[in-house]
Amino acid sequence: FIELLNRVSVSLNQPKYPKTVKQQYSPEEIEAGLRNHEFVLHYQPQICLTTNKINSVEALVRWQHPKDGLVYPDQFISVVEKHNLIELMTQEILNISVKESSAVIQSSLEVSLSINVSADNIIALSLPEQLKALTDKNHLAPHNLTLELTESAVMGELTSSLDVLNRLRMKGFHLSIDDFGTGYSSLQQLYQAPFTELKIDRQFVSSMLFDEEAMIIVKICIMLGKMLNMNIVAEGVENLETLHELQHLGCNFAQGYAIAKPMAVNDLIRWAEQW
Ligand code: C2E
Ligand code: CA
Ligand code: CA
Ligand code: CA
């Protein structure tokens, strides 16, 4: 294990696939779109690699733009975060997803729901109470809701975020560390915050079959997650070979185009009936 760690420690500091960020919408346009309820959610299923059953769905936001059609998060999330719109957006997403999840549950699909949250959501001290009130009102058990946080979301203001994370956990919500391995202090956060799930970043998963270093990182994440008694999710599973290898390596859950792309709620229900 230590040997594996040493072999990747150098390459971890040099991201191979830097993110590019387009910014083409103004905060005013985005805010108007949010207030007009133009944002929608697509859901991507996550399957259990032991039972092959659908375990949960991740809600991914899109903007149904009146002129430009469906706009993806890389074209607005950074503006949303920079201009104090994330609380408004997260409220909107929570309202939509909690309501839509009742439709999913009524379709007799027993799955839990994962939501992405940003740094500013996690320092809002009333978040645990707000979430509890919302899930109670919509008959969703807290253990069926997972909040996905990236490492940078927690790092901003560590003390207040830890307080909020601990209170969320005490109320029964699950916490997932998203894009694991891409931030700067993953291990410190695993150590300090009450995460129950580790999501291996897709840059490692999608290249693990042809890139030895990516494979090592995936193996380490699985070992680490197991030793810390966490659920391990591989995201960005693009083909069946990768899916089978992850199964073989003891990864718990998988998500990616090999299983399904993110879909609107009605398509998700239809898809799940065929699965
Ligand atoms: P993420 O949380 O890492 O979400 C996974 C992204 O990978 C999604 O992109 C998904 O469509 C994409 N994906 C899923 N399977 C595959 C695959 O097999 N191959 C490849 N190449 N990609 C795959 P999407 O929907 O464009 O979202 C991008 C990011 O935007 C998310 O990354 C998340 O950080 C952020 N985001 C999305 N929805 C929300 C939201 O409601 N709130 C917040 N705060 N952030 C969100
Ligand atoms: Ca996520
Ligand atoms: Ca992710
Ligand atoms: Ca990612």
Residue whose CA lies nearest to ligand 1 atom number 11: 262
Distance 181 CA to ligand 3 centre (A): 10
Note the pLDDT tens digit of each residue in 207-255: 999 999 999 999 999 999 999 999 999 999 999 999 999 999 999 999 9
H or E stretch covering 94: helix 86-106
Can you tell me the ipTM of this complex?
Answer: 0.97
Complete DSSP assignment for 101-163: HHHHHHTT---EEEEEE-HHHHT-TTHHHHHHHHHHHTT--GGGEEEEEEHHHHHTTHHHHHH
- For 167, how many CA atoms within 13 A lie in the half-sphere containing its CB? 16
Q: Give tens-digit pLDDT for 66-96.
A: 999 999 999 999 999 999 999 999 999 999 9
Ligand 4 centroid from CA 137, angstroms: 31
Whose CA is closest to atom 23 on ligand 1? 236
Which residues line the pocket of ligand 1, CB cutoff 6 A? Answer: 44, 60-61, 72-74, 77, 93, 116-118, 148, 178-179, 202, 206, 235-238, 256-257, 262
The lowest-confidence range among 164-173, 176-185, 247-256, 264-273 is: 176-185
Minimal CA–CA distance to 221: which of 230, 257, 241?
230
pTM of the model: 0.91
Burial of 127 (0-12, 13-18, 19+ CB in 10 A): buried
- Phi, psi for 82 (deg, rounded to 5): -75, -30
The answer to whether residues 157 and 186 touch, using CB atoms and an 8 Å cutoff, is no
Element containing residue 208 per DSSP (H, E): none
Tracing tokens 């509890």 back to the chain, one arrives at 132
Q: What is the pLDDT of residue 185?
A: 65
- Helix axes 212-227 and 240-249, enclosed angle (nearest 10): 40
Residue 228: per-residue pLDDT = 94
Q: Parallel, antiparallel, or unpaired: how do β-strands 39-48 and 253-254 relate?
A: antiparallel
Calculate how far, in angstroms, residue 178's C-alpha sits from the geometric centre of ligand 2: 6
Atom 2 of ligand 1, nearest CA residue: 116
* Of 168 and 122, the one with more pLDDT: 168
Q: Is the pLDDT of residue 17 over 60?
A: no
